[in-house]
Amino acid sequence: MEEIRNVGAGFKPALFGFMLSCMIAIPIAVSAQTVKPAWQSDWDKTLDLAKKEGKVVVSLTTSAELRAAIEKQFEKRFGIDVEPVVGRATSVIRKIIDEARAGVAYVDVHIGGSESVVTGLMPEGVLQAVEPAMILPEVRDPKQWWGGHLWVDTGKRLAYTSMAHLSETLWHNPQRYRGEEFHSLDDLLDEKLKGKIAMLDPRTPGAGASLWSFLREVKGEEYLKRLVGQKLIIGRDPRLLAENLGKGSTSIVMGMGYYSFAAFIKAGLPIQALPSPKEGTYVSGGSGHLVMLKNAPHANASKVFVNWFLSKEGQEIFGKALGQGSRRLDVDTKWLRDIGITGAKDVLTIEQYYKRENQSEDKINRLREPAAALARKLLD
């Protein structure tokens, strides 16, 4: 018995060491399984707080299809209501500015054209940087985006450019004017088109002002004087301009994107994009410029919406509803050619993009503002 006890005693330290190592290893293994990446913890916390806030107020372009898609996808996915603020950019921006000056914070996120942001919101100091709100890896990683992360402003990263497409802002009624007749911007000066061309008002921010500044850059001010001499019909209601084209009251409409015509095209009205002129066209970010307002009343819901909007799903929904081309590399834009639009990433290099874009803060101050001044001179 003594011999057996001595043998057992010799094994006790080894057994104790084995048991101790197991006790140490088990918590480590459990801990390794439960530790989340920093972004995941941040996202979970943000999402939990966002659901408690209950809603996010988003200013965006007028599109029933877009609002329905957001309600179907975003609201059901996250359980957070989206309250849309819609209207002409000038009136919506004015509303945001007036509320900010009065100390009222109502709108959380604005998505739209860049000019109204640069000339309206930026000077007021009401914007906060977007980049800190980009939480999800698929959103934050610049490799997910054609050209990396692109910003409207120079340095502060207040306005993110999510879209980039070759702008198609010349539309015609083929029953009134055949597309085969159009080859150059000079064709718009044809005597037979006098009194038959309409344009979205270039004196206010929007696609009309974008096209007008492009025409000034490539054709000069004398060309614009002659264009106005064509008894150019100026309008501020995109829906009315689109309807008049479809009904044949006008032959050509200038300065409006596809989404303004979409409902009428789907209803069977004869509306088509004109072929690209030999002078080419500019690259637009369309209505896909994103900004976040300071002191947002739904700060966490804002972040959730921003990450969803910049995700693959959000960009697909936004692009399809408005007929615009996302810069996300995993979002298909080749289908845009079916409606007369071309995604920039499908045909251009990023160097060509920088030469042809007209939505950056630099281009707006250097080209679009002088063009708007000329429009006021010729049209007021």
Instruction: Note the pLDDT tens digit of each residue in 151-205.
Output: 999 889 999 999 999 978 899 999 999 999 999 999 999 999 999 999 999 999 8
pLDDT in the model for residue 21? 54
Report which DSSP code applies to 20: H
- Interval 311-340 mean pLDDT: 94
Helix 369-379 × helix 221-228 angle, to 10°: 30
Is the domain spanning 39-165+285-348 CATH 3.40.190.10? The answer is yes
Q: Is the predicted pLDDT of residue 30 greater than 70, yes or no?
A: no
- Interval 247-276 mean pLDDT: 94
Q: At 33, is the pLDDT very low, low, confident or very high (cuts 50, 70, 90)?
A: low
Q: pLDDT by residue (tens digit) across 108-152?
A: 999 999 999 999 999 999 999 999 999 999 999 999 999 999 999
Instruction: Give the span between the Cα atoms of 135 and 43, in whole angstroms.
Output: 7
Could you tell me if 228 and 222 are in contact, meaning their C-beta atoms sit under 8 angstroms apart? no
Percent of the chain with pLDDT over 90: 79
Strands (E), 210-269: 233-235, 252-254
Beta bridge mates, 273: 171
Between 50 and 9, the higher pLDDT residue: 50
Q: Is the predicted pLDDT of residue 10 greater than 60, yes or no?
A: no
Domain definitions of the chain by residue range: 39-165+285-348, 168-281+374-379
Give CATH for domain 168-281+374-379.
3.40.190.10
List of residues 6+ apart from 301 with CB closer than 8 A: 50, 53, 54, 55, 56, 80, 108
Instruction: Give the span between the Cα atoms of 213 and 312, in whole angstroms.
Output: 32
Q: Is the predicted pLDDT of residue 7 greater than 90, yes or no?
A: no
pLDDT in the model for residue 96? 95
